Structure 1
Amino acid sequence: MAFLDVEQGKRVYYEHFRGDNTPVVLVHCWGGTTRLWNTVVSALLGAGHEVLTLDHRGCGESDKDFTDASIGAIASDVVTLVEKCGLVKPILNGWSLGGAVVMEAASRLGDNVGGVVLTGAATPRFTPTQDWPYGNDRQGSEDSLALMAQDRAAAMKAIADACFAKPVSADLSQWAWSQFTQNGPRADQSLRELIDIDQRDLARQLDHPVLVIAGDQDAFIPFDGVEASIGLFKDARLFTMSGCGHAPHMEEPATYNAELLSYLQKVGGRTSVSA
């Protein structure tokens, strides 16, 4: 097991798989673990890619008692791990809240990014505002946080179940819930922050090719907002997974992985929009 020592001796769990092809960094959803990327990791390794995954602060195998478990702090862990592992122009793939994390990490890494993949991503905004009518009702997030304070197991079960729009096996549903049960109360900090975070300027400034993969039945990220976000980027393409919800890589892994690998093949030698 590998750990990154960060804030006052606290540790972040990560896995670094060597490979000869384009490196890929996988950043999981709020409250989950790197295990939720298992089918994606297998596909990437099978295609010879270098892969880096991590558990957010407060989640999975990472320490639970962080003082700072914000989106910015998780992004700083991504940046540090990219540098520590010597990744050259990696593709950053963020799922859900992980999308907000990789947007921040990409801005900090600058030229050392090959591209960005946003999977059911909670960016550029998670909730509506006056000039952005898209997103989730902020009250839903407040209600989830309130339920966590009363019955965390039930809250995690509701979140895990809501990830799927297509029928999945009882085993997969139960297993996904088991991953969400491994987070601690400090992880709630990043979810609270997500309610008001605005990354539209980061989207406009991003100089790398973006692949947006989204299920059109996502219960967390309304699809009209996903469509609207494409116009913010200099170079972005939307791949719609029809009938899928918030976890398209688990609902239709073969389709998801084929699209991801195709993107990696196209951008592997590309470093920026102007290249």
Structure 2
Amino acid sequence: MAFLEVEDGKRVYYEHHAADGRPVVLVHGWAANARCWDTTLLALRAAGHPVVTLEHRACGRSDKDFADTSIGAIAADVVALVEHLGLREPVLNGWSLGGAVVVEAGRRLGANLGGLVLTGGATPRYTAAEGWPYGGTPADVEGVLAGLAADRPGTFRAVADAVCVKPVGEPVVQSIWQAFLECGPGADATLRDLAHVDQREILPALSCPVLLLCGREDGFVPFDAVAASQSLFPDAHLVEFGGVGHAPFLEDGETYRSELLAFLSRTGR
């Protein structure tokens, strides 16, 4: 348990579970926190991988009063943490909005990027645009933010209920909801920024191995969008999770962990 000062005396929370294998950095989704990765973390540690988790600006135990909570700012924190810990060619795994974060962080890491894992990753776009007919609209995002402004607990509960399609039990849904309730209003600006981020020019320049893990019934990042993104990467492998929603690591954890460890084995040093 530690904090990294990243901007104007403000800090982000992180954990560094040291080991000797290929380092893996786990980046959570919008408004969540690092605890969502606990079962994944245990599997990675058991396989000998050093694991780093962090919590976005305005989320979890990180400071809530950052002036800048954009995708780029959070990506800069990931890069700063990789450099602070001296990680060599880490694999970055981003869930949902965290997918956009790790793509931008990977671009900045350049030759020191070992690989990318996109778990229902919201890249190259979260919303539809010319030449990209997938996802909703910025107006849809503004509707969610308006709901948060009117009834933050209720809106977050509705989002938590929609994350998983496969039954995972009330304790899991409750844990997602509680994580959402821990985030500060700054996380709202992160989602608003995501609605306008376009990474279509970045993906072809990422020559590292990429693993795409996506639920067929994902209600937040359409499976067809993830499938379309595969062709933009020079080296990407897609794994489809049938009957699964937005959180394959929670809904089909055994398969998820198996695919992740196999990818790391193929790309390991």
Which of the five TM-score ranges fits, normalised by the shorter chain? over 0.9
Deviation at 1:134, TM superposition (A): 1.2
Q: In angstroms, what is the RMSD of aligned CA positions? A: 0.8
Write the distance in 1 (CA, Å) between the matches of 2:160 and 2:7.
29
Deviations 1:210-255 (A, max 9, x none): 0000000001011111111111010101000111100110111111
Write the distance in 2 (CA, Å) between the matches of 1:129 and 1:74.
24
Secondary structure of 1:129's counterpart equals coil
Q: Which residue of 2 aligns with 1:41?
A: 41
Question: Given the two structures, how large is their TM-score scaled by the length of structure 1?
Answer: 0.96
Write the distance in 2 (CA, Å) between the matches of 1:130 and 1:201.
14
8 Å CA contact 2:93–2:116 kept in 1: the answer is yes
Q: Which runs of 4+ in 1 moved over 4 A?
A: none
What letter corresponds to residue 156 of structure 2 in structure 1?
A: M
Deviation at 1:49, TM superposition (A): 0.3
Deviation at 1:137, TM superposition (A): 3.6
8 Å CA contact 2:213–2:240 kept in 1: the answer is yes
Deviation at 1:136, TM superposition (A): 2.5
Q: Which residue of 1 aligns with 2:180?
A: 180
8 Å CA contact 2:137–2:195 kept in 1: the answer is no
Give the aligned length. 269
Q: Which residue of 1 aligns with 2:26?
A: 26
Deviation at 1:73, TM superposition (A): 0.6
8 Å CA contact 1:119–1:212 kept in 2: the answer is yes
Write the distance in 2 (CA, Å) between the matches of 1:29 and 1:230.
20
Question: Given the two structures, how large is their TM-score scaled by the length of structure 2?
Answer: 0.98
8 Å CA contact 1:93–1:102 kept in 2: the answer is yes
Write the distance in 1 (CA, Å) between the matches of 2:216 and 2:137.
17
What letter corresponds to residue 63 of structure 1 in structure 2?
A: D
Q: Which residue of 2 aligns with 1:86?
A: 86
Q: Which residue of 2 aligns with 1:216?
A: 216
What letter corresponds to residue 95 of structure 1 in structure 2?
A: W
Write the distance in 1 (CA, Å) between the matches of 2:260 and 2:236.
14
Q: How does 1:97-246 map to 2 (within 5 A)?
A: 97-246=97-246
Secondary structure of 2:68's counterpart equals coil
Write the distance in 2 (CA, Å) between the matches of 1:159 and 1:53.
23
Write the distance in 2 (CA, Å) between the matches of 1:244 and 1:92.
22
What letter corresponds to residue 14 of structure 1 in structure 2?
A: Y
Write the distance in 2 (CA, Å) between the matches of 1:174 and 1:14.
23
Secondary structure of 2:142's counterpart equals helix
Deviation at 1:128, TM superposition (A): 0.8
- Identical-pair percentage: 55
Q: Which residue of 2 aligns with 1:272?
A: none
Write the distance in 1 (CA, Å) between the matches of 2:155 and 2:54.
23
**Unmatched segments (≥5 aa) in structure 2:** none
